[in-house]
């Protein structure tokens, strides 16, 4: 499937504009995210430990 030059230009401009908007909005909300999501690292750590624990149980029960 071939794209026209206009479609390719639109896609490139859209991607650049979208990424630029996301970066600007993220920088604007960085302090708010740091305040509201301060405990997320512990939730992620706990989730990873739980998944590892499940794999260990599976491994030991299989043998």
Distance CA 32, CA 25 (A): 11
Cα angle for residues 50, 33, 30 (degrees, 5° grid): 130
Per-residue pLDDT of the chain (63 residues; tens, 9 = 90+): 789 999 999 999 999 999 999 999 999 998 888 888 888 889 999 999 999 999 999 999 986
Q: Which domain holds residue 15?
A: 5-62
Kindly report the pTM of this predicted structure.
0.53
| Widest pairwise Cα distance in the chain | 60
Q: How many domains in the chain?
A: 1
């Amino acid at each position: 499937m071939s794209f026209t030059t206009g479609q390719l230009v639109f896609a490139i401009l859209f991607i650049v504009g979208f990424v630029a908007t996301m970066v600007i909005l993220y920088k604007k909300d960085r302090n708010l995210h740091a305040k509201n999501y301060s405990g997320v690292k512990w939730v992620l750590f706990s989730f990873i430990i739980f998944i590892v624990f499940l794999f260990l149980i599976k491994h030991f029960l299989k043998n």
